[in-house]
Structure 1
């Protein structure tokens, strides 16, 4: 079953989980499958011009690749709904500019439209994080905390560094105990658990999309031996690196 989403003028939604949904301005209306609605739209040789006050809807999708993309998607709720008028105003310029680019194509218009779409996505995520109703922890929420954000960016930028709890605490200018407590409360995992998971997500992506050997991947992510790397990988991913590689090779066979 898909969840109905009631549309109001100026509303903005992000649906990060790919779940089925319905869009409507009236919950009493009978749903129409999008393929039928699209065929009706395409059957008109010329669409009427938009007049002042006309309502329209813009939609699109972003494709995320790599195992670590899951960290972003799982940090978001099933629906991100930008409701407040002040927040919608912050996105209106990008949306209006995007409409102009699509309505009156110019050289380089596709590139401008793409960048405007990126701006709208980032702005929507910013507004979601800044919302007073934002609850819970996780990687994305932690980015609003300057100390936790610095720790996370340090791990992301240099995952092969021999990070320790003491080193990360010193990096953000906090005591070891206070840093460990705040990180766990904010992110939902200890700093070392987060570091290991990030390394294994990067490793999984390389095992799937590169020809690097296990020893090369292990050393680049801060492990001195394949054995230590393999144990960490199995603990996080639920199978050995070789099992993970074989399973992805099988999936690629037509």
Structure 2
């Protein structure tokens, strides 16, 4: 299985679209820290982005898109001297939000919500702001999704809301797939020629009793190279990653399925219910039964 698809599905990724926003003259809008991941795409004109804890101001022009991956307050503006209006004030009436006077800039905004485990599995591997710049080869798919979102919002054809939600997820996947990430971590591992094949093998068959030697053969490297490179890039050893992913699968099943712990243990590669229970409690701090009751 594709690990990115695997993790996004496990996290229960859902998208939402806020109303579009236009701004003109001298204007600024302040946004509170988002609960999940926030994006804005500039369809026309230009503006400035400032994010708490990020040095400097980012200039955005038509075709640019940014992804805010951490719960940080941010500001969109025409210039640094403009007085900011709280976002909830201009978005309160529904429809297209308006800042300043005129329509010099046109933006589409929205976001993504995830389950509780998103930060450890996905978001911690990302920088606080990811930019997709207009004109870059990798921005083509993102621009296509943004334009289709705009068309759906304008035309309001049958099923437009559902189409827009799926297009937003397509945009998220394209940005995660194509934009540079931190030099190590899970997403960096997917792109690595040694760690990547091993990660895909683990996700394709997590119940298999993988050894470092087997994963090394998958990547056509020595056992020592696999162990060292995987730890260097992903931040933990292959067996630690396999164990962690099995625990995530077990937690997901406990939240959503009614299968017994013994069945779940067998399906994800543990020989017995007790073996899973010991590993689960070590990782999550509670037994599978207690976790299920709390969920």
TM-score (ref. length: structure 1): 0.80
Instruction: Tell me if the contact between 2:255 and 2:292 (Cα under 8 Å) persists in the aligned partners.
Output: yes
Question: Which aligned pairs between 1:20-35 and structure 2 lie closer than 5 A?
Answer: 20-35=73-88
Among 146, 155, 176, the alignment partner of 1:125 is: 176
Instruction: Tell me if the contact between 1:12 and 1:88 (Cα under 8 Å) persists in the aligned partners.
Output: no
Question: 2: distance between equivalents of 1:66 and 1:39?
Answer: 28
Give 1:111 deviation, angstroms. 4.8
Give 1:144 deviation, angstroms. 1.1
Question: 1: distance between equivalents of 2:289 and 2:161?
Answer: 42
**Other-structure match for 2:240:** 193
**Other-structure match for 2:60:** 8
Give 1:184 deviation, angstroms. 0.6
SS at match of 1:98: helix
Question: 1: distance between equivalents of 2:110 and 2:127?
Answer: 18
SS at match of 1:30: coil
**Other-structure match for 2:207:** 160
Among 258, 262, 266, the alignment partner of 1:215 is: 262
Specify whether residues 6 and 39 from structure 1 end up closer, same or farther in structure 2 by C-alpha distance, changes over 3 A only. farther
Question: 2: distance between equivalents of 1:241 and 1:210?
Answer: 13
Instruction: Tell me if the contact between 2:133 and 2:139 (Cα under 8 Å) persists in the aligned partners.
Output: no
Question: 2: distance between equivalents of 1:28 and 1:49?
Answer: 18
Matched, 1:17 2:70: yes
Question: 1: distance between equivalents of 2:145 and 2:173?
Answer: 11
Specify whether residues 237 and 153 from structure 1 end up closer, same or farther in structure 2 by C-alpha distance, changes over 3 A only. same
The alignment of Structure 1 onto Structure 2 pairs a total of residues equal to 238
Give 1:121 deviation, angstroms. 1.6
User: Could you say which structure has the higher helix fraction?
Assistant: 1
Specify whether residues 68 and 206 from structure 1 end up closer, same or farther in structure 2 by C-alpha distance, changes over 3 A only. farther
Question: Which aligned pairs between 1:74-223 and structure 2 lie closer than 5 A?
Answer: 74-83=124-133, 85-86=135-136, 89-90=139-140, 91-107=142-158, 109-129=160-180, 134-223=181-270
Specify whether residues 89 and 17 from structure 1 end up closer, same or farther in structure 2 by C-alpha distance, changes over 3 A only. closer
**Unaligned stretches of 5+ in structure 1?**
249-254
Specify whether residues 69 and 204 from structure 1 end up closer, same or farther in structure 2 by C-alpha distance, changes over 3 A only. farther
Question: 2: distance between equivalents of 1:49 and 1:20?
Answer: 25
Question: 1: distance between equivalents of 2:128 and 2:96?
Answer: 33
Deviations 1:116-169 (A, max 9, x none): 32332222223323xxxx433111111112332221111112111111111111
Which deviates the most, 17-26 or 176-185?
17-26
Instruction: Tell me if the contact between 2:153 and 2:160 (Cα under 8 Å) persists in the aligned partners.
Output: yes
Instruction: Tell me if the contact between 1:68 and 1:201 (Cα under 8 Å) persists in the aligned partners.
Output: no
Instruction: Tell me if the contact between 2:127 and 2:182 (Cα under 8 Å) persists in the aligned partners.
Output: no
Instruction: Tell me if the contact between 1:68 and 1:198 (Cα under 8 Å) persists in the aligned partners.
Output: no
Question: 2: distance between equivalents of 1:183 and 1:227?
Answer: 29
Greater RCO, CA 8 A, separation 6+: 2
Question: 2: distance between equivalents of 1:216 and 1:28?
Answer: 61
Instruction: Tell me if the contact between 2:197 and 2:219 (Cα under 8 Å) persists in the aligned partners.
Output: yes
User: Could you say which structure has the higher strand fraction?
Assistant: 2
SS at match of 2:136: helix
Question: 2: distance between equivalents of 1:216 and 1:69?
Answer: 28
Question: 1: distance between equivalents of 2:251 and 2:163?
Answer: 33
